[in-house]
């Protein structure tokens, strides 16, 4: 019982730093694209996160978001951001730790990335762009289910 209480008090998460690691914006059709009033863009979103141990309990989590908008085969704009954070995370079991770096931390980073993306698209001369909220818990659970399925399929082949 005393060990359980001790383990609970050792768990901690803190944000040491949130920073922009990489950011790019391209508008290859500018300025010609702005002469058209008839845009019907198709927007694609690609989202991923990664995690690196920096030192001890210090971990870097990088949320990468790529947004591209096309009108037919013409790219209107392409944005990619690597929104990063240094998190001090300690005292968690492996499964809990996976959920923290795979869901909790990206959820913290997302509003920063969302604001940067909206701002740069508007500064690029395009109408306001609102990136909808993302359920990182569901994405994390989906990735775990896919990994488990891949492991089962791999075991069946051998």
d(CA 5, CA 1): 6
Residue 86's H or E segment, with its range, is: strand 74-90
The reported pLDDT for the residue numbered 38 is 77
17: tokens are 């730093």
d(CA 20, CA 36): 33
The reported pLDDT for the residue numbered 42 is 93
Residue 151 pLDDT level (bands cut at 50, 70, 90): confident
Q: What is the mean pLDDT of residues 127-155?
A: 85
Q: Report whether pLDDT(7) > 70.
A: no
Q: Report whether pLDDT(16) > 70.
A: yes
For 21-77, write each residue's pLDDT tens digit: 999 999 999 998 888 777 788 999 999 999 999 999 999 999 999 999 999 888 999
Residue 20's H or E segment, with its range, is: strand 12-26
Q: Report whether pLDDT(5) > 60.
A: no
CA diameter of the chain: 71
Q: Report whether pLDDT(122) > 90.
A: yes
Say which residue the tokens 């989906």 belong to: 142
d(CA 12, CA 47): 27
Q: What's the pTM value of the predicted model, to 2 decimals?
A: 0.85
Residue 9 pLDDT level (bands cut at 50, 70, 90): low
The reported pLDDT for the residue numbered 37 is 74
Secondary structure of residue 136 in the 3-state scheme: helix
Q: Report whether pLDDT(157) > 80.
A: no
Domains assigned to the chain: 2-157 (3.10.420.10)
């Amino acid at each position: 019982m005393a060990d359980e209480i001790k383990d609970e008090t050792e768990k901690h998460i803190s944000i040491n730093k949130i920073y922009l690691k990489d950011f790019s914006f391209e508008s290859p059709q500018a300025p010609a694209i702005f002469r058209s009033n008839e845009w019907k863009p198709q927007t694609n979103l690609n989202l991923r996160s990664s995690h690196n141990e920096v030192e001890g309990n210090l971990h870097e989590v990088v949320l990468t978001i790529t947004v591209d908008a096309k009108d037919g085969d013409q790219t209107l704009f392409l944005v990619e951001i690597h929104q990063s954070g240094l998190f001090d995370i300690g005292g968690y079991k492996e499964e809990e730790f996976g959920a923290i770096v795979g869901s909790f931390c990206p959820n913290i980073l997302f509003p920063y990335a969302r604001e940067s993306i909206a701002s740069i698209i508007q500064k690029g001369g395009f109408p306001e762009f609102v990136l909808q909220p993302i359920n990182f818990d569901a994405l994390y659970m989906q990735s775990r289910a896919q990994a488990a399925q891949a492991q089962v399929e791999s075991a069946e082949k051998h």
